[in-house]
Amino acid sequence: MGENWYSKSNETIIPGNPDRIKAKWDPLQYLNLAQYLKVFNEYPRAFNPRVHGPYCPWRYYGKRDLHLGDVKLAEIPAWIARRDKTPMGVYQGGIRTFWKFYRAYLDNKKPNLIWYTQIFVVASLINFVFFAMPDRKQYKWAKYH
Amino acid sequence: MMNKFALSLVSNRISPSIIGFRPFSISNTYFQSAPFKSKTNDQSCVAEEKNEKVLRVEDSLKDLSSVKWRTEFNGKRLWPHDQWPERDLVNYPPYKLREAPNPVRWYCVPESWFKFFYEKTGVTGPYMFFYGLLVYGFSKEYIVLWYDFTEYLILAAAVITVVKKLGPSISDAFRGWHQDEVGRYNSVVNNSKAMAGKMLHSYEESLERAKSIGALAEARKDIINMGLETSYRERMKQLYESVKRRLDYQVALQNARKDFERTNMINWITSEVKKSITDKQEKDTLQSCINQLRQIASQQRSLNS
C-alpha cells in the first residue's frame, strides 16, 4: 500500500473509502453481466443533468408532447406518428411505464395492496378474454344473441 | 445507474481537503486525465482505475476533468443548482418521496380515469361503462353462466367483506410493526437529545444555585448582624437601667432626708405651739371668733333684707 494507511489528512487512503474499494457486495457481480447490457444501461440521449438534475426513470426527457386525453380524434394518427417506435424507444417507454406504476403505488410512505390487486385484475382479465372465453363458447345457452 | 452518477461527484484523486474544492466530472471513470499512480500493493483489494472510454452524451463536456467546482462558500454548502443556472426546477423538480399512493376506486380503478371522463360523461360515466360492459357480456354470452358462476359471486362477496372489515386493522398492525422498527432507530437519537437537554437543564440549575450562594452568605451575615444588634441594645438597656437605678436612689435619698426634716420640724413646731397655748388665750380667741360671727351674721341679715 502507499503512505500510512491510518493517515487522517490523506482522505484517499483512509480505510473505507468507497472509491478505492473494488471488492463487490454480491458474488454475482463478479460475472460482470453489465458489460453485455451496456445498451440498456445508459441514460436517454436527451438527458442532461445540468438541466434536469438527478435522473428520474419515470420521466420522459424529450420534447414535451400532448397527453392522450388532450389529443383530438382527428389528430391521433399524427400523434402516433410522432412517437418513437424503435425497439429502444419501446423499451424505454416500457421502463418508464413500470417506474410510473412503481412511483404511483409503491414509492410512498403509506403503501397498500392496490398494486397487487391491479396486477391480479389485469392478469385475470387477460386469462378471461384469451383463454376462458374461447373455452366457455362451448357451453353457451343460446346460439344467436 | 444513479450510483454511478453519485460516485462521479466524489473525488477520485488525492486532493487536499483544506479548501472546499472538488474535481468534478459527470462520470469520473470515463474522463480521466493522467492517472495517478500511487504505490499499490498487489495483495490489497485496492486496484487502479482502467481508462474506459465510452461515447456518451457528455461528448460535449469533454474537458470537465480539469474544472474545479466549489462545494462550499462562506461556510454554506453549495448545491449543484446554485452553480448550474440552466437547471430547470419548474419542469423537472427535484425528487420528493410521496406521502400516499394514487387514489383508487373499487380498489383497482384509478381516480384519474374518473376525472378524465367527468367532463364528457359526468360522475356516472365510468360506472355506467363498467356495468354496461358486464351487462353486455351477459347479454351476448361472453360471460357464460355456468355452474361455477355462483362460486365466483360468493368469492367476490366474501373477499370484499373480508377486505372491508379486516383491512384497516391488518394495515394498522403492519404499520405499527414498521413504526416500531423505525422508532428503534429514531429513539436512539431522540433519547440522546432528551438526555442532553436534561443535562443542560441541570447545568443551568446548578449555575442558578451558584448565583444564589452569594445571597445565602449575605443572609447569614444579616442574621449575625441582627444578633449583634440585639445584644448591643440589650446591653445598652441594662446600662441605662443600672445608671437610672443609682441616680434614683440618690434622688430618693435626698427626698427622704428632706421629708424627714420637714415632718420633724412641723411636728416639733406644732407640738411646741400647742404646748404654749394657755387657757386664757383660748377663751379670748373663742370670744373674738363668736363676735366676728355675730358681725357677719348681722351684715348678712342687713344684706338680705
Find out whether B28 and B67 touch, Cβ atoms under 8 Å.
Answer: no
Residue A76 and residue A17 share a domain? no
Nearest to A124 by CA among B131, B163, B111, B143: B143
As a whole number of angstroms, the distance between CA B81 and CA B297 comes to 143
Residue A126 and residue A84 share a domain? yes
Q: Report which of residues A120 and B4 the model is more confident about.
A: A120
Residue A63 and residue A134 share a domain? yes
* pLDDT at residue number B197: 96
What's the ipTM? 0.79
Residue A130 and residue A67 share a domain? yes
Residue A109, Cα to own-chain centre: how many angstroms? 20
Of A18, A54, A140, the CB nearest to B141: A140
Asked if the Cβ–Cβ distance from B98 to A10 is below 8 Å, we say: no
**Domain-located, residue A44:** yes
* pLDDT at residue number B203: 96
Q: Which of A28, A55, A82 is at the close of a domain?
A: A55
* pLDDT at residue number B20: 47
- Per the structure, the count of domains in chain A is 2
**Domain-located, residue A16:** yes
| Residue with grid cell 476533468, as numbered in its chain | B65
Which residues, 6 or more positions from B94, have their beta carbon under 8 angstroms from its beta carbon? A53, A54
Residue A126 and residue A70 share a domain? yes
B220-279 residues touching A, CB cutoff 8 A: none
Residue A28 and residue A9 share a domain? yes
Q: Does A108 touch chain B (CB under 8 A)?
A: yes
Which residues, 6 or more positions from B113, have their beta carbon under 8 angstroms from its beta carbon? B126
Find out whether A54 and A98 touch, Cβ atoms under 8 Å.
Answer: no
B95-114 residues touching A, CB cutoff 8 A: 95, 97-102, 104, 107-108, 110
**Domain-located, residue A4:** yes
Grid coordinates belonging to B19: 479548501
**Domain-located, residue A20:** yes
Nearest to B4 by CA among B40, B52, B38, B36: B52
Q: What is the mean pLDDT of residues A4-9?
A: 62
Residue A72 and residue A38 share a domain? no
**In chain B, which residues have their Cβ closer than 8 Å to the Cβ of A142?**
141
For A81, the domain range is: 56-138
* pLDDT at residue number A97: 96
Nearest to A111 by CA among B93, B178, B163: B178
* Secondary structure of residue B28 in the 3-state scheme: coil
Grid coordinates belonging to A111: 403503501
**Domain-located, residue A143:** no
β B104-105/B109-110 pair status: antiparallel
Residue A130 and residue A87 share a domain? yes
As a whole number of angstroms, the distance between CA B249 and CA B257 comes to 12
β B21-23/B68-70 pair status: antiparallel
* pLDDT at residue number B231: 97
Find out whether B121 and B128 touch, Cβ atoms under 8 Å.
Answer: yes
Q: Does B1 touch chain A (CB under 8 A)?
A: yes
* pLDDT at residue number B29: 47
As a whole number of angstroms, the distance between CA B210 and CA B205 comes to 9
**Domain-located, residue A144:** no
Distance (Å) from the C-alpha of residue A42 to the closest C-alpha of chain B? 8
Grid coordinates belonging to B228: 449583634
- Taking chain B (305 residues) in runs of 10, the rounded mean pLDDT of each run is 51 47 48 48 56 58 66 78 80 93 94 93 94 96 94 96 95 95 94 96 94 92 97 97 97 97 96 87 91 93 84
Of A50, A133, A139, the CB nearest to B84: A50
Nearest to B94 by CA among B81, B113, B110, B83: B81
Helices (H) and strands (E) in chain A, counts: 5, 0
Q: Which residues pair with B271 in a beta bridge?
A: none
Residue A129, Cα to own-chain centre: how many angstroms? 27
Asked if the Cβ–Cβ distance from B100 to A49 is below 8 Å, we say: no
Residue A38 and residue A12 share a domain? yes
- Write the DSSP symbol of residue B65: G
**In chain B, which residues have their Cβ closer than 8 Å to the Cβ of A45?**
57
Q: Does A2 touch chain B (CB under 8 A)?
A: yes
Q: Which of A27, A55, A83 is at the close of a domain?
A: A55
Residue A11 and residue A46 share a domain? yes
Residue A99 and residue A88 share a domain? yes
Residue A69 and residue A19 share a domain? no
Asked if the Cβ–Cβ distance from A19 to B7 is below 8 Å, we say: yes
Nearest to B11 by CA among A52, A56, A14: A14
* pLDDT at residue number B44: 52
**In chain A, which residues have their Cβ closer than 8 Å to the Cβ of B175?**
110
pTM: 0.57
As a whole number of angstroms, the distance between CA A106 and CA A99 comes to 10
* Secondary structure of residue B117 in the 3-state scheme: helix
Q: Which residue of chain A comes nearest to B18, CA vs CA?
A: A9
As a whole number of angstroms, the distance between CA A28 and CA A9 comes to 35
**Domain-located, residue A6:** yes
- Whether the pLDDT of residue A99 is over 70: the answer is yes
As a whole number of angstroms, the distance between CA B24 and CA B64 comes to 7
How many CB atoms neighbour CB A100 within 10 A?
A: 15
**In chain A, which residues have their Cβ closer than 8 Å to the Cβ of B107?**
114, 117
Grid coordinates belonging to B131: 356495468
Distance (Å) from the C-alpha of residue B193 to the closest C-alpha of chain A? 25
Tell me what the pLDDT averaged over chain A comes to.
Answer: 89
* pLDDT at residue number A135: 92
Q: Which residue of chain B comes nearest to A139, CA vs CA?
A: B144
Asked if the Cβ–Cβ distance from B146 to A48 is below 8 Å, we say: no
Of A52, A109, A111, the CB nearest to B88: A52
- Write the DSSP symbol of residue A43: -
* CA B73 vs CA B24, B76, B81, B286: distances in Å: 16, 5, 14, 139
**Domain-located, residue A48:** yes
Interface with A, mutate which of B92, B121, B155 (most A CBs under 10 A): B92
* pLDDT at residue number B39: 52
Distance (Å) from the C-alpha of residue B142 to the closest C-alpha of chain A? 6
